[in-house]
Amino acid sequence: NAGVTQTPKFQVLKTGQSMTLQCAQDMNHNSMYWYRQDPGMGLRLIYYSASEGTTDKGEVPNGYNVSRLNKREFSLRLESAAPSQTSVYFCASSGDWPYTDTQYFGPGTRLTVL
Amino acid sequence: DAKTTQPTSMDCAEGRAANLPCNHSTISGNEYVYWYRQIHSQGPQYIIHGLKNNETNEMASLIITEDRKSSTLILPHATLRDTAVYYCIVRLGSTGTASKLTFGTGTRLQVTL
């Protein structure tokens, strides 16, 4: 039982390049989330998916797209990376009520955009 | 969700109890108090949550005041591995299938020898 896994662990991009961050969970959770964390800051929600086939914007969605590929996988895409997107990206998942607010997080992807 | 206020940082000697306070004076009657922690560079980890009764699990205890305007997370015997940032989150219990947690900047707990 690996929990929430993320790939890659580290990535360096040049401005304007694109990439996809991958996330998978093996806990049979319906809900999945993408957060970003800038240095010295708390986490901010980018997008979330309440169930397979649905996605919704969080607090900071601009510059990102997501795909809920199936129940296990939720990917985050940067179409044209900018230096402001340098951050640590965390994926999380949670079960249904009454466990919705108990989220399980992956180890993170550290992204640097030059 | 109600706003929370936490001290920026705290120190605790190893083996002693760590008491982390959180103020949530605008909490409403059906809002829960959640605690997460983030050990350096890792993803946040759920610790405990409660509504109005005190709660205890294998990681910590949560004491919520009778008026629910503040709470304290207690790590009974802190170890060096408990050094982390601790987040207090007040959250309306979600009855849907997704939850949008709001993480502030938390309390940085340093456990020392």
Structure tokens at B35: 């605690």
Residues in chain A closer than 8 A to B95 (CB atoms): 97, 100
- In 3D space, the residue among B30, B42, B31, B33 whose CA is nearest the CA of residue B81 turns out to be B42
- SS3 track for A53-112: CCCEECCCCCCCEEEECCCCEEEEEECCCCHHHCEEEEEEEECCCCCCCCEEECCCEEEE
Please give the pLDDT value at position B2. Answer: 73
Q: Which of A42, A102, A106 sits opposite B87 (nearest CB)?
A: A42
Average pLDDT, chain A: 93
Residues A27-73: tens digit of each pLDDT:
999 999 999 999 888 899 999 999 888 999 999 999 999 999 899 99
Residues in chain B closer than 8 A to A97 (CB atoms): 93-97
Top residue of B46, B85, B91 to mutate, by most chain A CBs within 10 Å, is B46
How close, in Å, is residue A49 to chain B by CA atoms?
7
Please give the pLDDT value at position A89. Answer: 98
